[in-house]
A and B are shown apart, each in its own frame.
Chain A
Amino acid sequence: MADAQTLEIRDLGIGVGQHSVVDGVDFSIGRGEIVALVGESGSGKSLTALAIMGLLSGSVHQTGGTATLEGEVLDLGNDAAMQKLRGTSLSMIFQEPVASLNPLLSVGAQVAESLIVHGRATRREAWDRAVEMLRDLGIPAPEQRARQLPSELSGGMCQRVMIASALIAAPRLLIADEPTTALDVTIQAQILDLMRRLRDETKTSVLIITHDMGVVASIADRVCVMYGGRIVEQAEVHALFAAPRHPYTKLLLATIPRLDGARKTELFSISGTVPDLSAWPEGCRFRTRCPLASDQCATRPPLGPVAGGEGHVTACWHSDRVEDLV
């Protein structure tokens, strides 16, 4: 791709107190591209997203790395500078739409808010734009709905309201942290459909954070798999599902009960559990649960290219043997 990436993250590190929770994360998102950050709880995927938004606080702090948005370096630690970008260049939506909205403010006012706060429109214009936005997102009778409170709307509608408020100022990057996890499957299908349409029509870049491999397969162009605060594999979505080259990705895909799999049989499972923050092993962090682990794994494997796979990288010393697993 010749034109600049929308977002580039280089060597991002995040610590909680003394412990490193995100370590050397590199990835980029092109214009109009949907990239998925996938991993289990504690993999650091949500903290990575919060760091990009400049929203780390308390004992959670950035320990290194840079983020560039369309060629401009972001000053992630500078709250005033980030505040100017949040809602205009960068937007984020969260898992719990109902909890993320102000219960005492009409949804129209919440959608219009970022235009008013950033001085992009008068109250009147912002309200009209908000109603239009709600209509575009498929909310019936938006003039009436805009005057209602979040409690008067269903969960799926609240998620549309959140998406509307995130997109009203036409950001270059939308970060969606588990946007459909709290929703029912029929509503999830609507929201994923909506996000695909938005990308096609507005060329907004999207970073979607999820633990659901089905959602990844449905919406992502490219996937970064995280384990223990590091990206262990990154690939184009079809390549990742067809030929994963990190043992964690391979095993994770094998553990999911599938609609087309055998029933009542023993499911494949990854032995052990994710170690505690303070107990990451040296070297490869997956090695304590990995069937391919050897002495070599005590040295950290670099994220290196997979032979024959364009843009496919994996961090495993034994990536050539992953195919034979499971």
Chain B
Amino acid sequence: MSDPLLSVKGLKVHFPVANGKLFGEKPVVRAVDGVDFTLHAGETLGIVGESGCGKSTTGNAILGLAPVTEGEILFDGRDVAALTGRERQSLWRDLQVVFQDPVSALNPKRTIGQSIAEPLAIHGVAKAERRQRVDDLMALVGLRPGQHDRYPNELSGGQRQRVVIARALALEPRVVICDEAVSALDVSIQSQVLNLLLKLQRELGLSYLFISHDLSVIRHIADRIAVLYLGTVVEEAPTDTLFARPLHPYTEALLSAVPIPDPGAERSKTARPLQGDVPNPMDMPKGCPFVTRCPLREPGCESLRPAPVEVAPGHRLACHVRERDTTGRSALDIMIPPTELVRPYS
């Protein structure tokens, strides 16, 4: 395979928390605590997880909106964290973002034409050319030319999100980070925007980093999916594999918790819902982050953090127990060799 367009290695983002003390070490929230993935040209990588799992912080770190504590973010071979101001600005040509809430993403005092033209103006596109480009962009995302002079409050939620997408595409980026880009929209509008994102990808060869909590949406749009839990990737696999054969107990729980719009199937579910809550990110388990809720927990899981292992081509897993089930080996067994437990002095 060709070199990845975006590659994230060992990314950590830790935020210090005010504890009211002037001196001494501040406690930290480990929002992202060792995330690796790659994104290739024309591909969609889905990042899924529940609130507080670090999916948005990962996106923000790539955009330079959250401080990188440790690790490396390479965009097209360049280290994003090491870029100077001018270089960073040129990065925005290639890397854009669409956030969840189109209302707060648009300036209410600017017409949508002005909003879409803004990145063009900043990047030095001549004024005469701008109008034409804005019209082309509006047509691309399915807005009527007559809406050029409308204000955001005159548009519906779905149309506003189209404006945000048009603005993100103005500089012809190669990667668009979609952070819950359809989550605030009604279902009938959500499908329109998903269709638009798929169409734009086909026509422009875009890559998406698609961050969402909604498994049905992410399954529909992503080629590969990384499942995040408490700041780490617990499983990553091609979409079909992940849904057909989830290996991590958290992925399994997540998939079975999604209510299916089919009363027959929904009522014949046998899996018990996952018990307990996500641990406080300031007081995380030392070993596997999922250990407090895991039905497969074994002695050793709470002290030894599982490293991601490729159990099948493209299928990475960070779980001691399931790693043993699939590969026959597990770090747990190395730590406490079973033979020694039985006959220590043979």
Contact = CB atoms under 8 A, between A and B. Distances in A.
Interface of A: 40-41, 154-157, 184-190, 192-193, 211-218, 220, 237-238, 241, 251-253, 255-261, 263-264, 266-270, 273-274
Contact of A217 (B195, B198, B262): B262
B263 A269 contact: no
19 contacts: A184-B50, A186-B50, A186-B254, A211-B186, A213-B187, A214-B259, A216-B261, A237-B263, A238-B263, A241-B261, A241-B264, A252-B188, A257-B194, A263-B240, A264-B198, A264-B220, A267-B194, A267-B195, A270-B191
Contacts of B159: 273
Contacts of B190: 255
A26 to B, nearest CB: 23
B192 A269 contact: yes
B216 interface: yes
Nearest to B190: A255
B259 A269 contact: no
A214 B188 contact: no
B28 interface: no
A261 B51 CA distance: 26
B187 A238 contact: no
A40 B188 contact: yes
A185 B188 contact: no
B257 A188 contact: yes
Interface residues of B, number: 45
Contacts, number: 129
A151 to B, nearest CB: 12
B19 interface: no
Interface in B58-107: none
Given A185-B258, A260-B260, A264-B221, 13 more contacts: A40-B188, A157-B277, A184-B278, A218-B259, A218-B266, A218-B267, A238-B263, A256-B187, A257-B220, A261-B220, A267-B220, A269-B188, A274-B186
A238 B264 contact: yes
Given A263-B220, A267-B220, A255 B191 contact: yes
B346 to A, nearest CB: 44
Contacts of A193: 273
A251 B188 contact: yes
Contacts of B260: 214, 217-218, 258-260
Interface string B146-160: 000000000010110
A190 B188 contact: no
Q: Shortest 4 CB-CB distances between A and B: which pairs? A: A214-B259, A189-B273, A184-B50, A257-B220
Contact of B213 (A40, A184, A238, A260): A184
A296 B194 CA distance: 34
Nearest to B50: A184
Interface string B168-207: 0000000000000000001111111011001000000000
A217 B261 contact: yes
Interface in B284-318: none
Most buried by B among A187, A193, A215, A269: A269
A154 B243 contact: no
A267 to B, nearest CB: 4
B257 A186 contact: yes
Nearest to A140: B276
A185, A238, A261, most chain B CB atoms within 10 A: A185
B29 interface: no
Contacts of A156: 277
A189 B277 CA distance: 12
Given A257-B217, A264-B198, A212 B158 contact: no
Contacts of B331: none
